[in-house]
Amino acid sequence: MNRKNLLLAGTLALGLASCVSKKKLAAEQAKYAELNTFYTQVQTDLKACRDAQDEAARRRSQLEGELESARTQLAQQKESNTLMVNQLKDLSVISASQAESIKKSLENIGSKDAYIQDLNRAIQRKDSLNLALVTNLKSALKDINDQDIEVKVEKSAIFISISDKLLFKSGSYEVSPAAMTVLGKVAQVLNAKPEIEFLVEGHTDNVPITGGAIQDNWDLSTKRATSIVRILQKQFSIDPKRMTAGGRGEYLPLQGNEGPAGRAANRRTRIVILPQLDQFFKLLEKPQQ
Sign of CA dihedral 75, 76, 77, 81: positive
Q: What pLDDT, on a 0 to 100 scale, did the predictor assign at position 239? A: 96
H or E, element range at 270 = strand 268-273
Q: How confident is the model at residue 203 (pLDDT cuts 50, 70, 90)?
A: very high
Q: Distance (Å, rounded) from C-alpha 151 to C-alpha 136?
A: 10
Per DSSP bridges, beta strands 149-154 and 157-163 are antiparallel
Q: Residue 136, class by beta-carbon neighbours within 10 Å (0-12 exposed, 13-18 middle, 19+ buried)? A: middle
Superfamily covering domain 126-280: OmpA-like domain (3.30.1330.60)
277-284 and 109-140 are packed helices; what angle lies between their axes, rounded to 10 degrees?
Answer: 170
pLDDT for 86: 64
* CA terminus-to-terminus distance, the chain: 116
Is residue 237 scored above 60 in pLDDT? Answer: yes
Highest mean pLDDT of the ranges 40-44, 82-86, 89-93? 40-44
Please report, for the chain, the start and end positions of each structural domain, with discontinuous segments joined by +. 1-107, 126-280
Alpha-carbon torsion 277, 282, 288, 289, what sign?
A: negative
The pLDDT score that the predictor gives to residue 287 is 46
| Range scoring the smallest mean pLDDT among 91-95, 196-200, 204-208 | 91-95
List pLDDT tens digits, range 95-153: 566 666 666 666 665 555 665 665 556 555 556 666 777 888 888 888 777 678 898 88
- Phi, psi at 281, each rounded to 5°: -65, -40
- The DSSP output letter for 208 is P
Across all residues in the chain, what is the average pLDDT? Answer: 77
Q: Is 251's pLDDT higher than 90?
A: yes
Q: Are 288 and 115 in contact (CB under 8 A)?
A: yes
Angle (CA) 158 159 161, round 5°:
160
Residue 116 CB-half CA count within 13 A: 6
pLDDT of 289 over the 50 cut:
no
At residue 212, the pLDDT reads 79
> Mean of the pLDDT values across residues 28-39?
78
Q: What is the pTM of this model?
A: 0.55
- Angle at which helices 109-140 and 96-107 cross, to 10°: 30
177-192 per-position pLDDT tens digit: 888 989 999 999 999 8
> Which pLDDT score, from 0 to 100, does residue 62 have?
76
**Predicted pLDDT of residue 127:** 63
In angstroms, what CA-CA distances link 270 with 94, 114, 209? 59, 38, 21
DSSP state of 167: T
